[in-house]
Chain A
Amino acid sequence: MTARTMFEKVWSAHEVVQETADTPAVLYIDLHLTHEVTSPQAFSVLRAGGLPVRRLDRTVATLDHSTPTDREQIFGGVPIKLESARKQVEQLERNAAEFGVELIGLRSDKRGIVHIIGPELGLTQPGKTIVCGDSHTSTHGAFGALAFGIGTTEVGHVLATQCLLQRKPRTCAVTVNGRLPAGVTAKDLVLAIIGRMGVSGGTGHVLEYRGEAIRALSMEERMTVCNMSIEAGARAGMVAPDETTYAYLKGRPRVPQGEAWDRALAEWRQLPSDPGAAFDREVVLDASTLEPMITWGTNPGMVAPLSGHIPSSGDDVFRKALDYMGFEPGEPLAGKKVDVVFVGSCTNGRLNDLREVARILRGRRVARGVTMLIVPGSQQVKREAEAEGLDQVFKSAGADWRESGCSMCLGMNGDTVQAGKYSVSTSNRNFEGRQGKGARTLLASPATAAAAAVTGFITDPRELLS
């Protein structure tokens, strides 16, 4: 048999009907995650057609995008202040109840950002096809799943048929040799990858991250990398499962237990790409040469090493980006003033990220004039962080510690950055207005964000760790 990539194995195992020249493949979906923003119109289509949700056992809903992060509005019995958000939350509650969909609801201790709770609960597993009406579904690929974002019409397709019509994407290997130097994180790595590939470099492709540097990453770090695959335009990102993956999954609530675990494990071990399997493309990086990275423009591909400079010239788009950011060509990045620091999101809202931040904040204070918001990715992350006393570190430093959710990553719930202000954010998009109208976002790692919070300027976190 010919050598196959991991993507090809997962794809072909899920073909209900193979693609032909005239019709796309009918692809079976193992797990469908939904949230309040991209599902209402899909449920309306089902209702209008008198259709049930086909596989309730493969469908899980949660609330994360527009939910408040303020404790009072979730547990204090006061209604959600933002009316549009409250309506959307109530709509999903109604839809879930009417169709019988499992909802990890507003006050559930399992609630959190959909891409954080899937892995946490063990819903995310190697070899599965996973979709969600959300582009960062690519996160789940860290487990060797084929996971990608879909639009609302497709959410309706999956609810009604558990399938999607799909053309087979192409594959691209992203080989990262060497080891990341101390103080350089998975976020820095993925920003460097996007800088290399560009924001449309991965269009039409599924990326497979591989190589020594990827193998050395923890599951949380692999999720950070896969999460941002979409920022290079890719359909999905994948990492082959290995002992790190299995150790993470073992014993989680929704993974097979006992003998079923052994059977699953035997299957998962077959997933990695065969030696010599051909990819349509390959990108190669050397991790050992990387430094902490930060974005300076209005898309994630406009990125540079923190010790570097903003490019000194460029086209109209470059000038428009600098104009929006209020930066000059050729300026150094280190030393730029910061107003807001946001730690959280499905990219960097996990426990390891919060520990990184605490390492820098411990015994220090958030600089005068800087607002720092720390939003755990899930209620579980929140509990674990509090059990370690991280919340005390954050609060004594003067940071604001919240309930979980997407929060300032997209500013739908009222947590926004004011126009013209500079925000160093651990999230994944620095598009114009992403964190609020006129907000100026610089994407970076949790360590870099924490360093900016305590100094008030863009600072190499390694200076504060030595």
Chain B
Amino acid sequence: MEPITRITSRTVVMASSNIDTDQIIPARFLTTTTREGLGAALFADWRYDASGHPKPDFILNTPEAQGCRVLVAGPNIGCGSSREHAPWSLLDYGFQAVISTEIADIFRNNSLKNGLLPVIVDEATHAWLLAHPGAEVAVDLERRVLDLPDGRSVSFPLEPFARYCLMNGVDELGFLLSKLPDIERYERSHAK
């Protein structure tokens, strides 16, 4: 994974609350056996009409949304299915960060492991972001803050180890493999 230190982008706002992973990518697209190419299926049921054409009024199909890499979602995004296809499709589409007041556990974990930054902000900041679609923001991992265009910096929680891995491009599997001696010791002492 490439190291990530700072992401700067305009925002796209999808104000719906409780956007579940079935919306992010519907089940019929899960029959893939690779991680690639899922961006086309992102929000498929909201994005395309019955004949597969982009719905002009859906936010991701508007001209303003093009090239935005930060998604501001309504309260609580990512609930439901554990499908890692959800962050894969967001990343493949081009998103690099998702901002909300609450982000569901499994989705947040899956996102961190793939370099999609889950940014949890307080309600006032969230309200400001919802009211200012297209705002130029920066997610700064070094300082663990979200920089807003009016000069404010809002800190957000980020598990220190996940942050370390993201900033150094470290693969967690490599870290776990380095713990094999501890794992073997545990197994020996728990063998029945």
Q: Which residues of A contact B (CB under 8 A)?
A: 16-17, 21-24, 26, 28, 37-38, 40-41, 44-45, 49, 65-66, 82, 84-85, 87-88, 91, 133-135, 149-154, 156-157, 160-163, 165, 167, 169, 199-200, 203-204, 230, 233, 235, 260, 299, 301, 316-317, 320, 410-412, 419, 429, 431-434, 437-438
Contacts and interface: CB of A to CB of B under 8 A. Distances in A.
B26 A437 contact: yes
B160 A21 contact: yes
Given A45-B173, A151-B113, A431-B80, A163 B183 contact: yes
A82 B28 CA distance: 11
Nearest to B174: A49
Contact of B105 (A22, A65, A204, A320): A204
Q: Which of B20, B33, B172, B182 has the most CB of A within 10 A?
A: B33
Contact of B82 (A149, A157, A260): A149
B23 A431 contact: yes
Contact of A165 (B20, B80, B161): B161
A438 B20 CA distance: 15
Query: 3 closest pairs, A vs B, by CB?
Result: A84-B31, A151-B110, A40-B33
Contacts of B161: 22-24, 165
Interface residues of B, number: 52
Nearest to B26: A433
Contact of B16 (A91, A230, A235, A320): A320
B31 A88 contact: yes
B75 to A, nearest CB: 8
A165 B176 contact: yes
A260 to B, nearest CB: 8
A466 B170 CA distance: 63
A38 B35 CA distance: 11
B140 interface: no
25 contacts: A17-B179, A17-B182, A22-B161, A28-B187, A28-B190, A38-B83, A40-B32, A41-B84, A135-B80, A149-B82, A151-B82, A151-B83, A153-B173, A156-B173, A160-B173, A160-B177, A161-B183, A165-B175, A200-B79, A204-B105, A233-B104, A412-B31, A429-B81, A431-B20, A433-B22
Contacts of B15: 316
Contacts of B30: 37, 65-66, 412
A136 to B, nearest CB: 9
Contacts of B82: 38, 133-135, 149-151
A237 B25 CA distance: 26
Contact of B84 (A151, A169, A203): A151
Contact of B110 (A88, A153, A169, A433): A153
B164 A22 contact: yes
Nearest to A90: B33
Given A233-B79, A432-B45, A157 B183 contact: no
Interface string B151-192: 000000001110010000000110111011011001100101
Contacts of B182: 16-17, 26
Contacts of A156: 173
Interface string B85-114: 000000000000000001011100110011
Contacts of A167: 159
A429 B74 CA distance: 20
A443 B106 CA distance: 23
A288 B153 CA distance: 50
A154 B45 CA distance: 28
A431 B20 CA distance: 7
Nearest to B16: A317
B8 interface: no
A5 B52 CA distance: 52
Contacts of A230: 80
A308 to B, nearest CB: 21
Contact of A153 (B114, B159, B180): B114
B33 to A, nearest CB: 4
A162 B20 CA distance: 29
Given A38-B82, A41-B35, A162-B183, A434 B27 contact: yes
A299 B106 contact: no
Most buried by B among A37, A411, A412: A37
B23 to A, nearest CB: 6
A125 to B, nearest CB: 12
B18 interface: yes
Contacts of A199: 18, 76, 79
Given A22-B160, A163-B179, A412-B27, A233 B113 contact: no
A21 B161 CA distance: 9
B17 interface: yes
A160 B187 CA distance: 15
Nearest to B111: A151
Given A157-B173, A433-B45, 17 more contacts: A17-B179, A17-B182, A28-B190, A37-B31, A65-B30, A88-B33, A135-B81, A149-B82, A151-B82, A151-B113, A160-B173, A200-B18, A317-B16, A317-B18, A410-B81, A433-B26, A437-B28
Nearest to A410: B27
B34 interface: yes
